Structure formats: C-alpha cells, structure tokens
Chain A
Amino acid sequence: MDFNVIIDNFPFLMKGLLTSFQLAFLTIFLSLSLACLIAVGRISNKKYVRYPSAIFVNLLRSNPLILIVFWFFFLVPLITGTPLPAFGSVLIAFVVFFSAYFAEIVRSGIQSVGNMQIKAAQSTGLTYPQTMRLIILPQALRNMLPALVTECVIVFQGTTIAYIIGMREFLHSTSLVAERTIRPIELYLFAALVYLIICFTGTRIATLLEKKE
C-alpha cells in the first residue's frame, strides 16, 4: 500500500471536498427556509394549504433521494428547454427533497412551543405571519437544534449521491483518482476516514446540544 498517492493528489481531492461542503451548505440554507414555510402550511387551518403541504412532505419522504435526483435531472431541462448544469439540477433536487424532512422537524418544533404563545403574540396585535416569524419559529428552531444538526449531517452524507450524475464532489474525485492511480484501497479508505471524522463531529455536536437541554 502506498499512501503517498493521497498526498500527491491532495489538492484535487480537497477541491472535491469543498464542492461537497458547498452543496451541503446551500442545500441546508435553502431547504431549511423552504421547510419553515411548509411547516407553517402543515398546521394551517385552511384545507387548501394544509393538504398540499402534507402531500408534498409525504410524497418526498416516500422516495429515495437518488430517484428524486433522476426525476429533476430529467424534468428540469424538459420544462426549461435548456440543459441545466449539474450543480443546478442536483441542488434543486436536494433542496426539494430535504425541505420535506426539515419541515417535519420544524413542525415538531412549532408544536413544542405551544398554542398560548401564539395567542399571547396575537393579543398584542401581531398578525399571524409576524407571530410565526418573530415568536414561534425562533423558539421552534431553538427547541429542535439537535434534530436539525443531525439532519444536516444526513445532508452532508447525501452529497455523495451527486456522484451519480457526474458532479465532482468528494466521492467522485476520490474514485477518479482511484481509477487513475489504480490504488482503490488507499483512496476509498481515506475517503471513508474523512467522512467519518466530519460526520462524527457533527453527531457529537448534536448529542452535546441534546444534553444541554
């Protein structure tokens, strides 16, 4: 075994890792924002808001991420008429997919805040959107921080799926080097180690947050 091959290709591999992080962070930011809207929609008393939100969430949670990626990869160019760059299609697929999962976490958080806070805020004249934005969602997100962090780790692990449509994230970069240097053992074990360290740190943070409560 020759681990020098990792050192020789380090910049290339790190570029892949950076791409993984970029995809993860963008996904988390966008899908969490979308998730807040969906979560509020889930608890709405207007049926025409509540039902579509529920259908959206259940639809997405019933399908594997890789299939959703294939769906968007096929549909997005079809609808827009132009082939989208890999990052764009994958990002949309990821954001839509994970927003369903984040939405359930946020919804649980909203329910943990309780009805009386909503009434108190409304009694001072705040509108429902203001109440959600200023009072309920900040508390909901705070309450669900451990679950949110865990989901973020899952997002990061999910970035490996972008490999399949050719995006140069970390796993793909690793396999390219493995093929080129014919040293799969060193490269894949290295990749596993990197993911292990990052995700372990993430789950540790989530556990610590949970203990704090």
Chain B
Amino acid sequence: MNSPLVEIKDLSLKYGDYTALQSINASFFPGKCVVICGPSGSGKSSLLRCVNKLEEFDKGDVIFNGESLKKTKNISQIRSNIGMVFQHFELYPHLSVLSNITLAPIQVKGLSKTEANENAMKLLKRVGIDDQANKYPAELSGGQQQRAAISRALALEPKLMLFDEPTSALDPEMISEVLKVMRDLADNGMSMLVVTHEMGFARDVADEVVFMDEGKIIERSSSKSFFEKPRSERAKEFINKVLLKI
C-alpha cells in the first residue's frame, strides 16, 4: 500500500461570510485519475486551488508528497512539482508558445535554454502542435491553446496534474482533442485531479469520482459504482440532470 500523494486534512476555506469548503478530509493516491464533480458553487475549483496553495486556506492543511503546505517555506518548489491547467488556458499572450512552456523550467528548475527548448518541442509534439511552437497564443485555436497549456504544465515533470474545468471554455468540436490528451496522460499513469462536467470522461477514463456539494464531499467511489449505483440523493439528482443532456 503506497502512501498518499495528497492528504487533505480538515480543510476549510471562507470568502468573507461565504463558506467555500467545510472541513474537507480526503486522500489521493499516485497513479490514479480522480474526477471531482458537482453543481456550481460546490467548492470543486476552490478545493483544487488549495492543493497547490493558490488559495490561502483558513483552517486545516494539505500534505503534498509528505510536505505540509501550511508550514512550508518553499511553496514555489512544491508548485513546480504540480502542474495546473486552467479553464481559460491562461497562456502568456506576450510570449510565443514555446517560450510559454520553457519559462518555468528555465526560471524555476534552472534548465539551460537549449535543454528547455528540446523538452518543450517533445511535449508539443506529444500533444500534436509542434508546428505552432513559434506562434503567439492569440494565433491558436482554443483547443490548440489548451493543449499548449497542458504542455506548459507537463514541462515541469510534475508528480500531479490538476485540471480546473479544462474543456468548459472550448467550442464543442475542440473538446475531444483536449480530452484525448488527458486520456493519454491517465493511461500513462499520471496522477490527476480533474474538475469537469464531462461525465463521459469521468465514466470512461477516471478511476474514482468525488461528488461535492455546498463545500462538502458527499460521495466518493469508483467511477463505475458512482454512475451505476450512486448512494446519495444529491448525487442521483445530479447524474440525472447531467445525463439528460448527454
């Protein structure tokens, strides 16, 4: 039994009077792809952002790979072992696609420019857009931008990948190209936490599903059990609403 990659202990997060997360407890193990889903405002994105401390949580702690995020003095180093992909891609518009990917490896991990460029080109090839390397983000389609953003996150050789609604801002025709990249990652054993509304992905690719509502984890099970036999009423409601769309 290997030790958990991410341990979340009693995590609470408030924005003013609004409670986003209520005393969350969860552990995530390496090599697993976990989908976090739930209605809007359930706290899924907030939870994700706590894992790499982009949100400052009020109470509780997140232990990543044995290190406490609350106590650490070196959050930058920890973050360089976690890759994150955002809903609106968030590529740097003033840098070329290639520079977007090589920036952190050079600045944070101290790679030489040549090394970083080589690695970046390999990643771009892997996601299928190596011919876009010298273009600027604005010249790429949404699907290409998101694949570039995934490469940017992978460039740090992270132990964990976080996806915050990666396909929600994409036109329908481009969703599949991004989901394919994510599927390849999962098949190759990457540890992944994915916040998404793509239930097809959850059912076919994810190992586990975590269902959240109103800042709490309501249900967690293998993806097969979750879709075939959801236990809580809220989860049943949610699945029905979502499946009606499929």
Interface set of A (CB-CB < 8 Å, partner B): 116-117, 119-127, 130, 134-135, 138-139, 142
Contacts and interface: CB of A to CB of B under 8 A. Distances in A.
A134 B82 CA distance: 20
18 contacts: A117-B92, A119-B54, A119-B86, A119-B90, A120-B84, A120-B86, A123-B52, A123-B79, A123-B86, A123-B153, A123-B162, A124-B80, A124-B103, A125-B76, A125-B77, A125-B104, A126-B76, A130-B107
Nearest to A133: B107
A57 to B, nearest CB: 26
Interface residues of B, number: 29
Given A117-B92, A119-B90, A142-B94, A126 B104 contact: yes
A135 B91 CA distance: 10
Given A116-B88, A130-B107, A123 B94 contact: no
Nearest to A119: B54
B76 A139 contact: no
A125 B54 contact: no
A134 B83 CA distance: 19
Contacts of B81: 125
B93 interface: yes
B94 A139 contact: yes
A15 B77 CA distance: 55
A133 to B, nearest CB: 10
Contacts of A117: 90, 92
B54 A124 contact: no
B148 interface: no
A142 to B, nearest CB: 6
Given A130-B107, A139-B93, A124 B88 contact: no
